[in-house]
């Protein structure tokens, strides 16, 4: 029935045909129903949903005239349907390609069902395992997390108590809320309990791993004067993080080196930027952990989810459960510190006691436009504050400009001035890399007239009078493929500058403020990086951000996308977009459909 709808891709149709050919002898109606289910399931999977609800499915697309066409679809599967489709459809741990949850009327691709079930069992099991803090640890916890603001809950202390009490916890928070400081103190407290503890720091990308390592080094440096922890304890905190793929290792025949039969040695595992970790990769991580390993997820639940299917962090922190705790947890915390009076709720059981959101920003105060803009975009109040045409004029650090008719017209004014200052820094790699991080152009996507690829071409031609492919002096590049031999990873940013002999070299920041240089011929795949997608910017921060939204509707546009872009800025942001596009983007929320929480209740 739905095979000819233009919203479905050839991949969707091929998948439906593949399953149908293996379903055995079916009537024409049964075959059509199976093909329709497979079409929609494949489409949903390609939109990064891990599950398809069988009822109230809304399919929307624009026809050739530009009008929105909607189809409301309902499927219903029961025990009799499972018998009819038994060759390709099953339940639970069956090895059929399609797995059905009859009770909740959900259908999965087998790999996503197995991944979701594994993650749900792991988290549910650890959520129920708590330990009581002894008097000495309680005293030290109060010492290193003193009350911050009178009458305000110290959410960092709540997070630390949670992480010490539980073997699995999620610490979420926006930029400047002190996530790294909090987790650094947590690791130090755990090391004081057992100095032989093996800690591993992970992040989804090489860039995020570098930033995590840098943040931990800054934390250790800041604690040297505090005297809260001994030098011996601080020295045991690892200062280098690695990507998740690097941590799991690669087996010669494919797959990961570490798995459920060959575990990693970690006692504590910290995963930063965990909103970027897809479902199946998270499953691979937890399968490779020893049973005693403590897991801490760190990230911002409101940022963009992973590019691939699933959103474990988002699923766990969805709805109103976060920062609402069980009476048992609230009572234990009040005994630790009497001023910590929390909201109580028994609806989620032990799960709500493993999630906390750091709510106080130390970077953006009440006068910060960036902080207010991020809150308004994220919280979506009604009426939306950005409907006020004077909104941006109330702050010095945020601005909105109409998108010009042609992309070339962007490279005047503020953006041109950024490049003028950058070009002055090209005397040395150190200066140039530092200047490069003072600004970045962020785009919704790589393609299109206002996408990162086209803007980088314009920058090369207009600012540097070069082609985008040439190795011109000052060209910013981003690695797009991991090379473990020379330790350059997807997302690493470098610049092209001549060495002392005048030959072009690619320069990248190394550990402890060092520099690394490579002949361009040695580099793995790379692309220009003055303009980059918001997705690629995750895990990075810049003094000034120029955020550019496209000139036409795009399914990628959402409040999560623009929130992520806004929170990359530390000092100022300019948004280039039509008012209509900006408002519609801020009002559109992206939901990843999942059954994870259902399996944990």
488-536 confidence digits (pLDDT tens): 888 889 999 999 999 999 999 887 778 999 999 999 999 999 999 999 9
How many angstroms separate the Cα of 137 from the Cα of each of 3, 143, 381? Answer: 62, 10, 42
Domain stop point among 363, 390, 414: 363
- Given this model, what pLDDT does residue 587 score? 92
Where is the domain boundary, 363, 383, 405? Answer: 363
Which tops the pLDDT comparison, 599 or 424?
A: 424
Q: What value does the mean pLDDT take over residues 61-79?
A: 86
What does the pLDDT average to over 14-19?
A: 96
Among 71-75, 142-146, 306-310, 398-402, the minimum mean pLDDT is found in 306-310
Q: With respect to residue 198, please indicate whether it lies within any of the assigned structural domains.
A: yes
Looking at the structure, tell me whether residues 329 and 344 fall in a common domain. Answer: yes
In a shared domain, residues 437 and 400: yes
Residue 165 has a pLDDT of 95
Give the pLDDT confidence score for residue 218 in this predicted structure: 92
Q: Are 540 and 435 in contact (CB under 8 A)?
A: no
How far is Cα 468 from Cα 176, in angstroms, rounded to an integer?
Answer: 35
Question: How far apart (Å, rounded) are the C-alpha atoms in residues 324 and 312?
Answer: 19
**Domain-embedded: residue 593:** no
pLDDT number for residue 150? 67
User: Looking at residue 563, what is its pLDDT?
Assistant: 96
Q: Are residues 74 and 161 in the same domain?
A: no
What is the C-alpha separation between 573 and 434, in angstroms, rounded?
Answer: 18
Does the structure show a pLDDT above 70 at 347?
A: no
Which of 328, 363, 398 is the last residue in one of the domains? 363
What integer pLDDT is reported at residue 48 of this predicted model?
92
Q: Which pLDDT score is estimated for 224?
A: 79
pLDDT averaged over every residue in the chain: 91
Q: Do residue 575 and residue 479 come from a single domain? A: yes
Greater model confidence, 321 or 20: 20
436-445, 466-475, 577-586: the lowest-pLDDT one: 466-475
d(CA 105, CA 51): 10
Band the pLDDT of 469: cuts 50, 70, 90.
Answer: confident
Peptide bond connecting 2 to the previous residue in cis, omega within 30 degrees of 0: no
> What pLDDT is recorded for position 330?
87
Q: What confidence score (pLDDT) does residue 365 get?
A: 81
The whole-number pLDDT of residue 544 equals 97
3-state helix, strand, coil in the chain (%, to 5): 40, 20, 40
For residues 43 and 430, give the distance between their C-alpha atoms in angstroms, rounded to a whole number.
47
Instruction: Sort 312 into a burial class: Cβ within 10 Å, 0-12 / 13-18 / 19+.
Output: buried
597 falls in which pLDDT band (50, 70, 90)? confident
Q: Residues 528, 529, 531, CA angle at the centre, nearest 5°?
A: 115
Q: Which residues contact residue 299 at a Cβ distance below 8 angstroms, ignoring those fewer than 6 apart?
A: 170, 171, 172, 272, 273, 274, 275, 276, 313
* pLDDT tens figures, 234-277: 999 999 999 999 999 988 888 899 999 999 999 999 999 999 99
Residues 18, 125, single domain; the answer is no
Count of domains forming the chain: 3
SS (H, E, C) 113-148: HHHHHHHHHHHHHHHCCECCCCHHHHHHHHHHCCCC
Q: Is the pLDDT of residue 542 over 90?
A: yes
Q: What count of residues does the chain have? A: 601
- Domain range for 27: 10-104
51 located within any domain: yes
How far apart are the C-alpha atoms of 457 and 537, rounded to whole Å? 19
Residue 572 and residue 509 share a domain = yes
The predicted-structure confidence for 105-134, as pLDDT tens digits, reads as follows 999 999 999 999 999 999 999 988 898 888
pLDDT at 397 over 90: yes
pLDDT bucket at 70, cuts 50 / 70 / 90: confident
pLDDT above 80 for 87: yes
Kindly state whether residues 540 and 459 are assigned to the same domain. Answer: yes
Please tell me whether residues 89 and 229 are part of one structural domain.
Answer: no
Residue 448 maps to which CATH number?
3.40.50.300
Residue 596: inside a domain, yes or no? no
């Amino acid at each position: 029935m739905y095979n000819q709808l233009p919203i479905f891709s050839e991949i969707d149709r091929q998948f439906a045909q593949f399953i149908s050919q293996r379903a055995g002898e079916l009537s024409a109606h049964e075959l059509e129903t199976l093909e329709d289910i497979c079409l929609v399931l494949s489409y949903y999977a390609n939109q990064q949903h891990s599950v398809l609800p069988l009822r109230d499915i809304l399919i929307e697309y624009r026809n050739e005239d530009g009008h929105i066409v909607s189809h409301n679809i309902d499927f219903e599967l029961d025990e009799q349907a499972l018998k009819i489709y038994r060759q390709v459809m099953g339940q639970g741990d069956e090895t059929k390609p399609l797995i059905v949850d009859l009770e909740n009327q959900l259908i999965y691709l087998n790999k996503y069902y197995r991944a979701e079930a594994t993650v749900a069992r792991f988290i549910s099991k650890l959520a129920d395992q708590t330990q009581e803090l002894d008097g000495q640890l309680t005293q030290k916890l109060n010492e290193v997390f003193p009350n911050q603001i009178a009458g305000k809950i110290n959410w960092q202390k709540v997070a630390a108590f949670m992480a010490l009490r539980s073997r699995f916890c999620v610490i979420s928070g926006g930029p400047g809320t002190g996530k790294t400081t909090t987790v650094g103190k947590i690791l130090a407290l755990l090391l004081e309990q057992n100095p032989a503890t093996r800690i591993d720091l992970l992040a989804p990308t090489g860039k995020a791993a570098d930033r995590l390592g840098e943040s931990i080094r800054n934390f250790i440096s800041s604690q040297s004067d505090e005297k809260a922890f001994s030098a011996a304890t601080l020295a045991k905190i690892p200062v280098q993080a690695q990507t998740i793929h690097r941590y799991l290792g690669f087996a010669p025949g494919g797959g990961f080196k570490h798995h459920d039969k060959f575990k990693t040695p970690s006692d504590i595992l910290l995963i930063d930027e965990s909103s970027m970790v897809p479902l199946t990769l998270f499953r691979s991580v937890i399968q490779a952990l020893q049973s005693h390993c403590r897991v801490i997820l760190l990230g911002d639940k409101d940022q963009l989810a992973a590019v691939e299917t699933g959103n474990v962090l988002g699923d766990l922190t969805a709805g109103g459960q976060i920062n609402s705790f069980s009476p048992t947890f609230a009572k234990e915390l009040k005994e630790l510190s009497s001023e910590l009076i929390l909201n109580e709720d028994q609806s989620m059981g032990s799960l709500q006691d493993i999630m906390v959101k750091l709510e106080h920003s130390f970077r953006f105060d009440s006068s910060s436009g960036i902080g207010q803009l991020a809150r308004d975009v994220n919280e979506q109040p009604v009426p939306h504050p950005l409907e006020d045409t004077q909104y941006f004029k109330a702050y010095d650090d945020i601005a909105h400009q109409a998108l010009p008719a042609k992309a070339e017209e962007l490279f005047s004014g503020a953006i041109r001035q950024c490049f003028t200052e950058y070009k002055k820094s090209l005397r040395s790699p150190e200066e140039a890399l530092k200047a490069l991080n003072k600004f970045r152009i962020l785009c919704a996507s790589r393609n299109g007239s206002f996408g990162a690829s086209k803007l980088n071409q314009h920058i090369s031609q207009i600012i540097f009078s070069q082609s985008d492919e040439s190795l011109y002096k000052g060209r910013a590049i981003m690695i797009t493929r991991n090379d473990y031999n020379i330790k350059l990873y997807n997302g690493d940013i470098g610049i092209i500058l001549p060495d002392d002999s005048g030959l072009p070299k690619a320069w990248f920041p190394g550990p402890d403020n060092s520099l690394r240089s490579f002949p361009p011929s040695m580099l793995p795949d790379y692309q220009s990086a003055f303009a980059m997608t918001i997705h690629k910017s995750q895990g990075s921060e810049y003094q000034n951000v120029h955020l550019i939204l496209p000139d036409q509707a795009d399914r990628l546009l959402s409040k999560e996308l623009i929130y992520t872009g806004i929170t990359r800025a530390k000092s100022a942001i300019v948004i280039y977009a039509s008012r209509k596009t900006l408002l519609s983007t801020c009002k559109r929320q992206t939901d990843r459909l999942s059954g994870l929480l259902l399996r944990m209740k």
